[in-house]
Structure 1
Amino acid sequence: MARKRKKDLNNIKGNIVIQRPLEEVMHDSIMPYAEYVIMERALPRVEDGLKPVQRRILYTMYELDLSPDKPYRKSARIVGDTLGKYHPHGDTSVYDAMVRMAQPFNMGEMLVDGHGNFGSIDGDSAAAMRYTEAKMTPLAMEMLRDIEKDTVPFGLNFDDTLKEPEVLPARFPNLLVNGASGIAVGLATNIPPHNLGEVIDGVIARMHDPDISLEELLKIIPGPDFPTGGILVGQEGIYDAYNSGRGKVIIRAKVDIEDIGNGKKALVISELPYQVNKANLLEKILKLSEERKGILSGISDIRDESDRKGIRAVIEIKKDADAEKILNYLYKYSDLQVTFGINMVAIADGKPRQLGLQSMIDYYIAHQKDIVTKRTIHDLEKAKSRAHILEGLIKAIEDIDKVIALIRSSKNPKEARGKLMSEFDLTEIQAQAILDMRLQKLTNLESIELEKEYNGLLKTIEKLSAILSSEKQLLAIIKKELGNIKKKYACPRRTQIIRDSSEAEIKIEDLIYVEDMVITLTHNQEIKRVSLKSFNRSSKDVETVDIRAGDYMEYLVDSSTDHRLLFFTDIGNCYSIDCINIPEGKWKDRGVKLSSLINGLDTNEHIISVLSIKEFSEDRYIQFYTSGGMVKRTILSEYEAKRTKIQACGLKKDDRIIGAQLTHGEADILLITKNGMSIRFSGQEVSSMGRTACGVRGIQLKDNDEVIWGNEVKDDGKVSMITDMAFGHKVKAEKFERQGRGGIGFKGISLNKNGRNGTEVISVFYDNQPYEIILQPVDGDSIRVSTEDIKDGDRGGRGHLLSPIANVISFAYRNYY
């Protein structure tokens, strides 16, 4: 069947199969599509600030005569006419564009006057187009004013049956006033709205002084003015955006702290950042208050009291809570403060361009000069044409009897027109005007009116000609008309600008409700934080914690909600996270995977130290110990990084980090190896090095030996060494004699050749207070041993059996209570 079909296809006359590489087809297809999306859909024209769909909607409403003084018309009619005449796309896209132009929370100055449900700042969508009505606003009329005077070019519509404007006259700078946003193929635009009065003043200032600097212009147009108000923090981003066309600004909600009685306060939100959904914002704040029970536990109630008078969202604060810190926290973690990325891209000179403020104003001024020039030419031609006709009428009235006699003697209008032209030296237009003249024009009063009109036209012609011959007068006309628009429609600035951007920088101490915490981390890297109050009420027994089979508690670190935790791994990495960002739980609860909180944590690397840091001071150090016997010390401030992951320590081949501690660098250092060797030397012998350095040699190792423990020690402390056969040996730190760094050291514990007391040291503990060690055999239940039960001995002793049932143990660790 397949062969027959192929044969039939080949027999069809004119059937041609063109084979082309896919990359050529894609290129030839995507480029026209991309150009269409850029030019005809997503980006506005710099002259009128409108996308094609917006321009077509306004022109359709203009044709339907939906001026502000006329009744509303059904939105479905407007959308239908727009689709049928100019915009052959989906009705939803047209209606959505029209709705946006009618929403006061989206537009700096509305261009569509909507009647009915046109959506809300809570994200509610507009009612269906069959239910709503609309007409143009007065400012929309200013966008179309003078369009009938041949001021803008027209082109054919999609089916070549009608003509539509390629751009509107735009008698005010709509692109800056209302802004624009859109995504094209490889391009995007995001222009914020501005204050109408300020922008007009800026345009007039640029016309008055074409060389005005951006700094001077910023005094007139200090920044965007969003319809929802809010507070704009810092001018650095504004300057960048106005200079290059790209920048970022910070917008925060206007929030007042009010006393509501009984010693309680409330955060009252009256203005929102631009394009922030109020309902979603309050829902997110509620979710944050449930998830992050630290500082946000002070929120007792959230309610929306907004009405027709304006926005009023209330966040009620508990009596003892800090309202300022809660507000700062919400600024940082909710949409009460957002970043608005300015990207001023528009179609200029027939292609997309990224424009600064000065260039954008220059394009608008050039457009207005063109509009007013074409309007003046149109008015001048119309005035000259009328004056020409009046000249003929006046001639006729001066000898009206002869004119009447000449007309009466003619056989037809054509003959009469010819006689008038030859007898009175008239043009065809003048002669036809005389023939069309009504008898009432023959009265004396009408004759005077014609003379008056003619003299007025001569003055108009002189005035219009002067405008065309003088750019100064042309600019004066534009300035005057812009000034009139400002006088009629400008309103006070809505967005407050705080010039100092440091006011938007929320420091950690402004956010954190300081509370002491305990951080727990298991061997399999499950982490949680427990409030100190909850910890003190619990059993504090690590074996009561819910952990997975085969896992065990490895770290318990004292911390606080204003601390930052540093996690050091055996392969030389340092990961960091704020304590407040670790999920809180009870002592018995299972934690969450550390990898879910920290990006980039490799499953092959193991945490060897957890440090809680409040201040990254210059007088403290991180001290590292490696299995290869290296010791390295680096100033603590080098680990204060914004990145989650940094290199903590350089390592030689086959080396790994076995410990890291916070130090002032003054105490002695003690290293203990797997084979029981030890060395103690002065910490002064280790100099501070860079973060990526490998360090200096602390001990010289024999074959098949490695360092398993390193720490700073003082003479009053005790060192407990545990072997893999559950033998323990405790030695006072003072019995480890000090020697020079880099030696082979002395025996810390002696291991029998027959392995009776163990083949290697697997854990070492140091403290000057008694505590409990938990040993885990390979088979069987764990065994608890108090350090007080481990007999003191001399350095180099063999130790004693801690438990008769503990054969080879898999690990030993400390119970922290």
Structure 2
Amino acid sequence: MENNDNSGANDLPINDGGAASNRGRIIPVNIEEQMKTNYIDYSMSVIVGRALPDVRDGLKPVHRRVLYGMSELGNTSNKPYKKSARIVGEVMGKYHPHGDASIYDTMVRMAQDWSLRYTLIDGQGNFGSQDGDPPAAMRYTEVRFEKFAEAMLEDIEKETVDYQLNFDDSLKEPTVLPTRIPHLLVNGASGIAVGMATNMMPHNLSEVVDGCIAYIDNREITIDELIHFVKGPDFPTGGIIYGFEGVKQALHTGRGRVVLRGKTNIEIDNKGREKIIITQVPYQVNRDMLTQKIGDLINDKAIEGISDVNNESNNKEGTRIVVELKKDVVAQVVINQLFKLTELQTSYGINNVALVKGRPRVLNLKELIVEFIEFRHEVVVRRTQYELRKARERAHILEGYIIALDNLDAVIKLIRESSTPNLAQEGLVSNFGMSEIQAKAVLELRLQRLTGMEIDKIREEHAEIMKLIARLEEILANEGMRYQIIKDELTEIKNKFGDERKSEITYADDEIGMLDLIEDEDVVVTISHLGYIKRTSSDEYRSQRRGGRGAKGSSTRLEDYIEHLFVASTHHTLLFFTEKGRCFWLPVYKIPEGDKTSKGRALQNMIQIPPDDTVRAIIDVKNFDDKDYVNSHYILLCTKKGIIKKTDLEDFSRPRQNGINAINILEGDQLLEAKLTDGNCEIIMAVKSGRAIRFPEEKVRSTGRGGIGVYGIEVDNDHDAVVGMVCVNREDKTRTILVVSEKGYGKRTYLDDPETGEANYRVTNRGGKGVKTISVTEKTGSLVGLLDVSEKEDLMITCVSGVTIRMSVASVSEQGRATQGVKLIRVDEGDEIAAITKLDEKEEETELITPAENQDQDKADTDATDTPNLEEASDADTE
């Protein structure tokens, strides 16, 4: 480049040895300035013409040229496949003269469903694999458009985008595609330019469309509000996004970091050993390389506990990497080691750099949406202007036809008398007031259009064209209509191509404020006997009358059944207490969500419970950050042998990942129940044989987590055991004690008679035998549980078989404490009650189902059991 500034002329020596004729044409330049200018030109060429995507269609030039070249060849989704080499030759010869390798590599990636969240090319043949296998040569593979790509080129023929000359100025190519899809957000992009780079993550199409529509409806929408729609990246290979702070930062600023983990399940083989099954790997992770890395760690003894690893993945069943464990190894510990030492956990730097009006910019979520919507608005305007111009041109010709039809005989006579077409055209213009275009169209009109039916069609077409013109003019004059068109087209794209998220989002333990992103709602948490946990919307459980048949509550194995079932908020924290006296911590929102019949996820995948331990009690804690709440509450623990222990809640506010010790369990005993109290309660404990004891909470002093506890109730023999413990606020006179036997009988009894105030359950010292709380017979079976309930709550009863029934507590009759109760649920032969729990009454009206065949049985049960047995009652009055 010439430098007209001669200020540096004296700085550089001039070679006088040249020919005299050239001396006047040699211009001295500053080499530093020349290098700087040339390097800037080169870098801008790389930035604009190669490495960075355009913010409007999300494509780099090579991607855009491949798609446009395929479009020009008619290689659409409803046409036969064409050889990849044919497309490569077309694109290289006309638009992209940079070698066939770069073009074919681009095509291959656009056809790989593990590389792009939504593929643009439908490939036939070997296009490589997620294990790193290379694609076949271009002469073997064939391609055509995906319907998704066709939506990116729609309306390109309607002058919606600008064109530029190709590399040799012989053809024109589009500078951008008129995409209806927010492709840059949906499929992301990556590239290294000169002095800058871009690395944009893919997102879910449905979420992005919802975000775009939300912006159209409210231009002042904040990024935090947009995050409710666009929740975060969504990778084609799935995986679990661990931690949200880095993602949130990227959505706000355009720069951040996302940590992605593979998805794992734990299976048990026929020898009883656990296997870790990796079903999803992080984005762009080679499965064979991951398997080899795990093998190397085994050989180097960097990970103890793995006996073998094998990649069993295939195209039909997807990813399946099997990690076999040695005996008595805790699977979750090995999984955490794999996260730390292998690419099973990978981090990606987010850098949202794209070209905006030819200049690179870092863009946040809202700016990306704004740029796309503005571009779509421009496309809609240009498309409407084009359609309006074409409609007016057609209307003009139709008006000429109508003039000719209105003067048909005269027009025919004029044409017949004219010696040349030019004279006929001049005659039509001068005699009938037609334009030259109209006159030419009339002369080219076929005779069949002069039949009566065709004449009517011409008039109808003209009327329709005029309506169309009026509508197009209205669109151009009304901005609201244009944005409504954009919304309608986006909704159509979502309905056509939208799908569910593939990547889950979980939250790191040290993140703050993440609960703001989680809806605060009540869910039913269920834990099966074999340790599978899930959460389900409580609305899925319908209400039934007592005595009904019940509904299937969970799909479990024959030897499994629902053991714990309760309602908790997604913003709360659960404390899990095991039979060996350990305590573990888990937020409710981290529990995997499932429908009522799903199996759930193994609890050992969520918390590090040893294989020989079992969860026995769960406490729902509202907020550990509220110091007043923590300091005013206690946890009461009881064991099957009648031991009771009280500890400050503060001692459980900072549990470790591998759990903490809550109570020292003596040999032959195990933890049964845990309750959260405020220090002002009365405690009721009951045993299988039907006895119960009532004593004040003050009788149990608070001790540290390492203590053993004191006796709460006397257990007579090895066959008897505590079945439950409830804590009732002594000032609450509305609650009743509900007991249920293993064969489905139950009742409610007030602690104190509401009319006389006389105690049904006398207050005594702890450690006594107690009084009869239910008449245990062969018909009722042993006592299986007790709850403190009010009439505003619902009762959920679960059988060993998995059958669950929900009923109103008010439908359970009140009786004396020494009676056997009424039948609450019909229990099949060989089945028995496994668990009972109470649910808060919902505001919405629930469906009430009363099977006709059960009504007579209800009455018979009530008649048979409502009358107390006076002899048994008198015996029960003695402790």
TM-score grouping bracket, smaller chain normalisation: 0.5 to 0.7
Find the counterpart in structure 2 of residue 173 from structure 1.
Answer: 182
Distance 1:460 1:410 in 2: 37
| CA spacing shift, 1:434–1:17, aligned 2, 3 Å | closer
Find the counterpart in structure 2 of residue 242 from structure 1.
Answer: 251
Deviations 1:220-254 (A, max 9, x none): 11001100000012221121101110001111000
1:241 partner letter:
A
Q: Which secondary structure does the structure 1 equivalent of 2:258 belong to? A: strand
Specify which of 360, 365, 370 is matched with residue 352 of structure 1. 360
Distance 1:227 1:247 in 2: 20
Distance 1:18 1:93 in 2: 40
Find the counterpart in structure 2 of residue 469 from structure 1.
Answer: 477
Matches within 5 A, 1:350-749: 350-500=358-508, 502=510
Contact 1:118 1:127 in 2 (8 A): yes
1:487 partner letter:
N
Distance 1:25 1:403 in 2: 72
Q: Which secondary structure does the structure 1 equivalent of 2:138 belong to? A: coil
Distance 1:184 1:480 in 2: 37
Give, in angstroms, the shift of residue 24 of structure 1: 2.8
Give, in angstroms, the shift of residue 320 of structure 1: 2.3
1:428 partner letter:
E
Give, in angstroms, the shift of residue 208 of structure 1: 1.1
Give, in angstroms, the shift of residue 119 of structure 1: 1.1
1:325 aligns with 2:342: no
1:230 partner letter:
G
Distance 1:391 1:430 in 2: 8
Give, in angstroms, the shift of residue 21 of structure 1: 5.0
Distance 2:508 2:381 in 1: 44
Give, in angstroms, the shift of residue 462 of structure 1: 0.7
Deviations 1:20-77 (A, max 9, x none): 5543332122111100000000000000000000000000000110000111111111
Find the counterpart in structure 2 of residue 230 from structure 1.
Answer: 239
Q: Which secondary structure does the structure 1 equivalent of 2:98 belong to? A: coil
| CA spacing shift, 1:358–1:19, aligned 2, 3 Å | same
Contact 1:34 1:184 in 2 (8 A): yes
**Ranges in structure 1 where 5+ consecutive residues have no aligned partner:** 1-5, 505-817
Contact 1:80 1:91 in 2 (8 A): yes
Contact 1:108 1:226 in 2 (8 A): yes
Give, in angstroms, the shift of residue 269 of structure 1: 0.6
Distance 1:260 1:29 in 2: 66
The structure with the largest alpha-carbon Rg is 1
Q: Which secondary structure does the structure 2 equivalent of 1:306 belong to? A: coil
Distance 1:51 1:423 in 2: 57
Q: Which secondary structure does the structure 2 equivalent of 1:267 belong to? A: strand
Instruction: Calculate the aligned-residue CA RMSD, in Å.
Output: 1.8
Specify which of 126, 132, 135 is matched with residue 123 of structure 1. 132
Find the counterpart in structure 2 of residue 758 from structure 1.
Answer: none
Distance 2:15 2:204 in 1: 71
1:304 partner letter:
N
Give, in angstroms, the shift of residue 100 of structure 1: 0.7
Distance 1:120 1:305 in 2: 14
Give, in angstroms, the shift of residue 492 of structure 1: 1.1
1:91 aligns with 2:84: no
1:265 aligns with 2:274: yes
Give, in angstroms, the shift of residue 141 of structure 1: 0.6
Distance 1:501 1:390 in 2: 72
Contact 1:235 1:501 in 2 (8 A): no
Specify which of 192, 196, 199 is matched with residue 190 of structure 1. 199
Contact 2:245 2:511 in 1 (8 A): no
Distance 1:406 1:443 in 2: 19
Specify which of 173, 179, 193 is matched with residue 164 of structure 1. 173
Find the counterpart in structure 1 of residue 308 from structure 2.
Answer: 301
Q: Which secondary structure does the structure 2 equivalent of 1:79 belong to? A: helix
Distance 1:175 1:393 in 2: 48
Give, in angstroms, the shift of residue 13 of structure 1: 4.8
Distance 1:152 1:75 in 2: 27
Q: Which secondary structure does the structure 2 equivalent of 1:118 belong to? A: coil
Give, in angstroms, the shift of residue 292 of structure 1: 3.4
Q: Which secondary structure does the structure 2 equivalent of 1:363 belong to? A: helix
Q: Which secondary structure does the structure 2 equivalent of 1:220 belong to? A: coil
Q: Which secondary structure does the structure 1 equivalent of 2:111 belong to? A: coil
Q: Which secondary structure does the structure 1 equivalent of 2:66 belong to? A: helix
Give, in angstroms, the shift of residue 10 of structure 1: 2.8
Q: Which secondary structure does the structure 2 equivalent of 1:167 belong to? A: coil
Specify which of 111, 116, 135 is matched with residue 107 of structure 1. 116
| CA spacing shift, 1:59–1:9, aligned 2, 3 Å | farther
1:315 aligns with 2:318: no
2:188 partner letter:
G
Give, in angstroms, the shift of residue 263 of structure 1: 2.6
Q: Percent identity?
A: 49
Distance 2:27 2:351 in 1: 43
1:369 partner letter:
H
Q: Which secondary structure does the structure 1 equivalent of 2:173 belong to? A: strand
Q: Which secondary structure does the structure 2 equivalent of 1:261 belong to? A: coil
Distance 2:500 2:15 in 1: 78
Q: Which secondary structure does the structure 2 equivalent of 1:311 belong to? A: coil
Find the counterpart in structure 2 of residue 674 from structure 1.
Answer: none
Distance 1:499 1:177 in 2: 23
Distance 1:371 1:361 in 2: 15
Question: What TM-score does the superposition give when structure 2 sets the normalisation length?
Answer: 0.55
Specify which of 157, 160, 163 is matched with residue 151 of structure 1. 160
Contact 1:233 1:501 in 2 (8 A): no
Distance 1:260 1:470 in 2: 67
Give, in angstroms, the shift of residue 18 of structure 1: 6.2
Question: What TM-score does the superposition give when structure 1 sets the normalisation length?
Answer: 0.59
Find the counterpart in structure 2 of residue 683 from structure 1.
Answer: none
1:48 aligns with 2:73: no
| CA spacing shift, 1:7–1:269, aligned 2, 3 Å | closer
Contact 1:177 1:199 in 2 (8 A): yes
Distance 1:463 1:81 in 2: 40
1:10 aligns with 2:18: yes
1:163 partner letter:
K
Distance 2:221 2:417 in 1: 71
Find the counterpart in structure 1 of residue 851 from structure 2.
Answer: none
Distance 2:359 2:44 in 1: 9
2:472 partner letter:
L
Give, in angstroms, the shift of residue 503 of structure 1: 8.8
Matches within 5 A, 1:735-814: none
Distance 2:362 2:437 in 1: 51
1:497 partner letter:
I
Deviations 1:124-152 (A, max 9, x none): 11111111111111011111000000000
Contact 2:287 2:311 in 1 (8 A): no
Q: Which secondary structure does the structure 2 equivalent of 1:266 belong to? A: strand
Contact 2:215 2:221 in 1 (8 A): yes
Deviations 1:491-525 (A, max 9, x none): 11111111345499xxxxxxxxxxxxxxxxxxxxx
Contact 1:206 1:212 in 2 (8 A): yes
Find the counterpart in structure 1 of residue 34 from structure 2.
Answer: 25
Find the counterpart in structure 2 of residue 39 from structure 1.
Answer: 48
Contact 1:417 1:435 in 2 (8 A): yes
Q: Which secondary structure does the structure 1 equivalent of 2:304 belong to? A: helix
Contact 1:245 1:344 in 2 (8 A): yes
Deviations 1:608-630 (A, max 9, x none): xxxxxxxxxxxxxxxxxxxxxxx
